[in-house]
Amino acid sequence: MAVAPPQAHDAEEEAMILQMVRELVAEKVAPRAAEIDETAEFPTDIKELFAQNDLMGIPIPTEYGGLGGTFLTYVKVVEEIAKACASSSLIVAVQELGMLPILIGGSEEQKKRFLPDIASGKKIAAYALTEASSGSDALGSMHTRATKRGDTYVLDGQKIWITNGSVADIVCVFATTDPSAGSRGVSAFVVEKGTKGFTVGKKEKKMGIRGSPTVELVFDGCEIPAANRIGEEGEGFKIAMKVLDKSRPGIAAQALGIAAGALDYAIAYAKERVAFGKPIGQHQGVGFMLADMKTDVEAARMLLYEAARKCDQGAADVSLWASMAKLKCGDVAMSVSTDAVQVLGGFGYSSEYPVERMMRDAKITQIYEGTQQIQRLVISRALVGKGK
Ligand code: COS
């Protein structure tokens, strides 16, 4: 299940990618952000834009059609997009989440079969772990079953909160093959759009990231080839956890981008807006808020970039670093975006200004891909062990 180390981009190549992303975001993404939030529709045009500019498979090795980039480059790209539009940043981040089970646990044949279309953006990928009764306790009550029948498996059950589930062509689904075996009874499968017995259920109406569809997926006698099982039977839970180690930095990057975008807006506003004869940023009450916001953003960024380097190195303590980055960046996104609304006062509370959207978008980064409480659990277990 080893993942080949990515071909590192040199600093110059990464700088070129980031410059291109900044231009795309300024010209095409930022002007659409408010509308994407308002209409709550998946922005197919933005997905096409990212696909045309090779942003859908940054950490996928070149032999499978990806850019062969580092996780560090990938998180920086997600951050740049999220500065303007958190929903759009998820297009890139969830493409990574959805392909990672195949990259981490898939056979050579599966990588060749699925990864090139994901890397090019021709197909959208999603990751289906969560169920109605198993969120934080991902294993505890997993009801989705996969039953072997000859050279096929039959899937029955429901997944919920699946980001991009309604637009995905390829979904990596976790299901129980042996209910008596605990974490060793979970297996992972690729289910393709259009497979009989696989349908999209309810779409959630959400506070934020409204342009990113979050849906229920229903499997009812859904028969898939055994060749679509990722790894061996029983390896699914470990694959799911290894994926989260590499995908949580992507969500941390989204969170950091939201914080950085809100901070930029608050600084610009605090320089312009005059009260009591001078710009409000020069009043200590506001200036000190901005100072704290900036310090938090930079501290979170350092933690995130180190976590991304750990992903690139395949470091043994990657779980710890991924969780620390997700915890810090999520909390900074929430506090900085809330303070940005405060700096703008009444205008901050209006949807005519982007900071209220950023504050709504920030909240989910403290909840999904493991709540902040789960991150603390992972961190504390890394420090002192799990116990009984
Ligand atoms: N990498 C590899 N293996 C891992 C792992 C990791 N990061 N984390 C756990 N495992 C393995 C353990 O080693 C254990 O293996 P054995 O059965 O061989 O002993 C197995 O997985 C079960 O681990 P553990 O006992 O720690 O499982 P818990 O039920 O205590 O759950 C947490 C662990 C809470 C960390 C996990 O359920 C979790 O991350 N929950 C949140 C899920 C989540 O983020 N959901 C968001 C939606 S998905 S986008």
Centroid of chain to Cα 286: 32
Identify the band that residue 9 occupies on the pLDDT scale cut at 50, 70 and 90: low
Confirm or reject: Cβ of 165 under 6 Å from ligand 1: no
- Asked if 18 and 77 touch (Cβ cutoff 8 Å), the reply is yes
Residue nearest to atom 19 of ligand 1 (CA): 183
Counting atoms of ligand 1 from 1, which one is nearest the CA of 127? 49
10 Å CB burial of residue 195 (0-12, 13-18, 19+) is middle
Q: Where in the chain is the domain with CATH 1.20.140.10?
A: 237-384
Confirm or reject: Cβ of 319 under 6 Å from ligand 1: yes
Q: Is 369 a catalytic residue?
A: yes
How many whole angstroms separate alpha carbon 83 and alpha carbon 258? 5
Confirm or reject: Cβ of 239 under 6 Å from ligand 1: no
Q: Kindly tell me if the per-residue pLDDT of 1 is higher than 50.
A: no
Residue to mutate, 3, 174, 180, 238, ligand 1, most ligand atoms under 8 Å from C-beta: 238
How many whole angstroms separate alpha carbon 109 and alpha carbon 113? 6
How many other C-beta atoms can be found within 10 angstroms of the C-beta atom of residue 342?
15
Centroid of chain to Cα 319: 16
The pLDDT of 148-167, averaged and rounded, is 97
Least confident of 169-173, 283-287, 302-306, 383-387: 383-387
Confirm or reject: Cβ of 50 under 6 Å from ligand 1: no
Counting atoms of ligand 1 from 1, which one is nearest the CA of 163? 49
Ligand 1 centroid distance, CA of 241 (Å): 5
- Asked if 335 and 371 touch (Cβ cutoff 8 Å), the reply is no
Q: Where in the chain is the domain with CATH 1.10.540.10?
A: 11-124
| CATH number of this structure's domain 237-384, picked from the four choices 3.20.20.370, 3.40.190.10, 1.20.140.10, 2.60.40.730 | 1.20.140.10
Q: In the 3-class helix/strand/coil scheme, how is the chain assigned residue by residue?
A: CCCCCCCCCCHHHHHHHHHHHHHHHHHHHHHHHHHHHHHCCCCHHHHHHHHHCCCCCCCCCHHHCCCCCCHHHHHHHHHHHHHHCHHHHHHHHHHHHHHHHHHHHCCHHHHHHHHHHHHHCCCCEEEECCECCECCCCCCCCCCEEEEECCEEEEEEEEEEEECCCCCCEEEEEEECCHHHHHHHEEEEEEECCCCCEEEEEECCCCCCCCCCEEEEEEEEEEEEHHHEECCCCCHHHHHHHHHHHHHHHHHHHHHHHHHHHHHHHHHHHHHCEECCEEHHHCHHHHHHHHHHHHHHHHHHHHHHHHHHHHHHCCCCHHHHHHHHHHHHHHHHHHHHHHHHHHHHHHHHCCCCCHHHHHHHHHHCCCCCCCHHHHHHHHHHHHHCCCC
Counting atoms of ligand 1 from 1, which one is nearest the CA of 97? 49
Residue nearest to atom 41 of ligand 1 (CA): 136
**Model pLDDT for residues 32-71, shown as the tens digit of each residue:** 999 999 999 999 999 999 999 999 999 999 999 999 999 9
How many whole angstroms separate alpha carbon 206 and alpha carbon 90? 15
Fold classification of 11-124 is: Butyryl-Coa Dehydrogenase, subunit A; domain 1 (1.10.540)
Token pair belonging to 242: 């290894």
How many angstroms separate the Cα of 164 from the Cα of each of 104, 233, 275, 320, 369? 21, 26, 45, 27, 14
Counting atoms of ligand 1 from 1, which one is nearest the CA of 184? 17
Identify the band that residue 278 occupies on the pLDDT scale cut at 50, 70 and 90: very high
| pLDDT at residue 135, as a whole number | 84
The pLDDT of 154-162, averaged and rounded, is 98
Residue nearest to atom 3 of ligand 1 (CA): 238
Closest to 70 measured CA to CA, from 18, 122, 29: 18
Phi, psi of 160 (to 5 degrees): -125, 165
Ligand 1 centroid distance, CA of 242 (Å): 9
Residue nearest to atom 48 of ligand 1 (CA): 369
Q: Where in the chain is the domain with CATH 2.40.110.10?
A: 126-234
CATH number of 126-234: 2.40.110.10
How many whole angstroms separate alpha carbon 212 and alpha carbon 41? 7
| pLDDT at residue 141, as a whole number | 78
Confirm or reject: Cβ of 129 under 6 Å from ligand 1: yes
Confirm or reject: Cβ of 183 under 6 Å from ligand 1: yes
Residue to mutate, 178, 215, 241, ligand 1, most ligand atoms under 8 Å from C-beta: 241
**Model pLDDT for residues 203-246, shown as the tens digit of each residue:** 999 999 999 999 999 999 999 999 999 999 999 999 999 999 99
Confirm or reject: Cβ of 138 under 6 Å from ligand 1: yes
Confirm or reject: Cβ of 246 under 6 Å from ligand 1: no
